[in-house]
A and B are shown apart, each in its own frame.
Chain A
């Protein structure tokens, strides 16, 4: 009797398990992901403008008037900030968190991407493109009440940035033929920058923060080593003298950073009340993506970036929830496949890439065949859950320099086969591909292990290329080992990687695109090979990047950068894959949210308020 009962119980248990299996096998419903609110539907307020009241040059917001008070909670993934000194930060989180407190002279127009004044009242660029005259606002103050003047600007540039203190990336990017720009004080509220040559990317650098001279000068005098520890995360919040909309209130390691409202900020609303509306900003430091999602669902977070795989579920939740989802358009990063075009020997006299593979990779027909064999649409659908767009250009899809004439095309295996035939490749009876010397086409393809997106891309590309008869050994390896291969040992065949780019300034990519760049991945030249012969298209891209940086008018620059994108598009040293789309969910109690592709959702943090 007892045995029978046990058997029945076990059977019931198994049945229950089976049932849940059946449920799980249904594919997820993806149909409702396409109708995410497009940002074009948002009605933007007109631009902020300067108004002078009692001799103080305020910046007036034109957005609807809101209520004061409340908190907005963000999150940052990882360990949190390493420093609150905006000139020392070497990572994104530290930069974001410190730049909240320090405004720059200029900022970027969230829609057009053009530079517009912020801490500066206005700016002018001379005819020859070498002189930048900046007029400062009268009557605006640091958080300790001291006025913000030309001395602060000159000090920041001359004694911190150009002197090479802290993180030198700004300085590195504005060296022109070994010469640096100069900065001069004209009067208390006018500053003039002069670049040795016309150098268009310089204007973007003027959005870097300005430091209060009376606070930073003693630190600078104590030397670079002391400056590295100045305003570290251990500094007391009271000791920060700032100019931004918010200033530090509390930092709790590994938990959160809290900012409070700057009561004397220079941006006002249409009623001439001082902004920001929000009383507090909180950044929660979370360890990973999953925890971030949990915190958003537990309502501890107000805003979250959604991964492709989560969008469908959030979209389904949206109608009966308290958040709204925005589509910010393509991401600024570029994901690509590159072949090693290196045809040189290492120090021991061995080729970095074996000669037979060199012949394949340097053959344009081969590169194009690979390009046509890749099914980008399929990858967007399956890997990015449809939340992305195929990519064919070196500049990201939201770049203001994007060459729109370069049209996307679909996978076409016939074209691939034609191209391969033209170069003497042939197939045997089993459909295996051989080159004209009878070598089987087989190579290694690397990516960094742990990045599931790239791993899936690798698997799909391997499949696509094996349909062409190639043998692809797909090897995801540890990130550090991969970087070592790409940058030092150079013994790789094909790689799938990504770069972060800037949608505003192509010159930031010169280390990748120029033939002697430190990240010229597809044909790295270590010190000893710096003068080795270039491919024709490499030479042309070098020229275009030099010209593009020296030209001053946007239209002229656009021409040069259009051509470089066209060369990459035709020569295929990089085969771009797709751009994920950025999707953001934000609680709908927050008003004055005007998301743009270039600015994101909270570029106008001072205008955001909590509705009734």
Chain B
């Protein structure tokens, strides 16, 4: 019961937050000197009437406050509006969300599967050559800018011809059997996943290693060892459970990044994900599209934190008692 009350309280708290976020983003976009119709204005074959009609259709002839109220009203109703090209924002997003989810979920799974064990191993073999080498390797991973790394890999793909240059599926994807389709997607995903994996592995592995070292140094581990428990039991039952807590918070943040995390990498690899869509929308000041994606990002962040907090309550009895 306690926990439901807590969740309810948290949800109520998010409402003013969302309003503030939406207000700030709406006004920043609208007050910037970007004119969604600039391209049309400079086209000699577009008539004045067409321009006026477009202005009315996009509601640009009304004061900003009214534009915002109109947007907010339809947003609450669940209508995300239309893009400046007249397409439904929701269908646009629906086209891209699965692709971005696929990419980020693969990346997160791979990094967690590799990062946690490596972190534990490094902590257990503290200051041995294994630990040192791992530290150097992850430092390199942290130091390479993702954009640059992606470009390098792309050039590698062009020169060797081993990997496709960007995209998610090959040109004759529709004519393939299921197995070939899976192979095709894996082939296309390999490089973008490699980039994102290299970048995020470093952080995760280091965090895990540091937590583990902290815990291994604590009194209760010493006590457990003194009690004569087997090393496996000490590490995997007592140390690991305590060391992993901060990572749950981290997972909450990663959840927020699920939909918007990899825009740069997506752009370089021409990956048909949300990042590219949003980038193009911002450049064109396509307000409904930008607002929808910003709000989605904010909601995901809040939701991610909420989930992390709830998970913490479940895994860590100390928090339960305190609250």
Contact = CB atoms under 8 A, between A and B. Distances in A.
Nearest to A175: B47
B54 to A, nearest CB: 9
Contacts of B174: 249-250, 258
Nearest to B83: A82
B269 to A, nearest CB: 9
A297 B158 contact: yes
B171 A287 contact: no
B171 A258 contact: yes
Interface in B25-67: 33-35, 38, 40-51
A172 B33 contact: no
B87 A169 contact: no
Interface stretch (A30-38, A396-404, A479-487): A479-487
Contacts of B42: 483, 486-487, 497, 499, 519
Main SS of the interface on chain B?
loop
Interface stretch (A335-343, A506-514, A535-543, A553-561): A506-514
Nearest to A168: B50
A475 interface: no
Given A169-B50, A254-B96, A518-B48, A481 B165 contact: no
A253 B165 contact: no
A273 interface: no
Contact of B165 (A232, A282, A298, A478): A298
Interface stretch (B117-125, B135-143, B270-278, B314-322): B270-278
B7 to A, nearest CB: 36
Interface size, A (range):
35 or more
Interface residues of B, number: 44
A481 B285 CA distance: 13
B95 A253 contact: yes
A234 interface: yes
Contacts of B49: 168, 172
Interface string A120-151: 00000000000000000000000000000000
A298 B35 contact: no
B270 A286 contact: yes
B44 A300 contact: no
B100 to A, nearest CB: 11
Contact of B158 (A79, A254, A298): A298
B171 A232 contact: no
B45 A169 contact: yes
Interface of A: 71, 73, 78-79, 82-83, 90, 168-169, 172-173, 228-229, 232-234, 249-250, 252-256, 258, 282, 284, 286-287, 291, 294-295, 297-300, 478-481, 483-484, 486-487, 497, 499-501, 508-512, 518-519
7 contacts: A253-B272, A255-B167, A258-B174, A282-B171, A286-B166, A294-B155, A511-B47
Interface of B: 33-35, 38, 40-51, 85-87, 91, 95-96, 154-155, 157-158, 161, 164-169, 171, 173-174, 267, 270, 272-273, 276-277, 280, 285
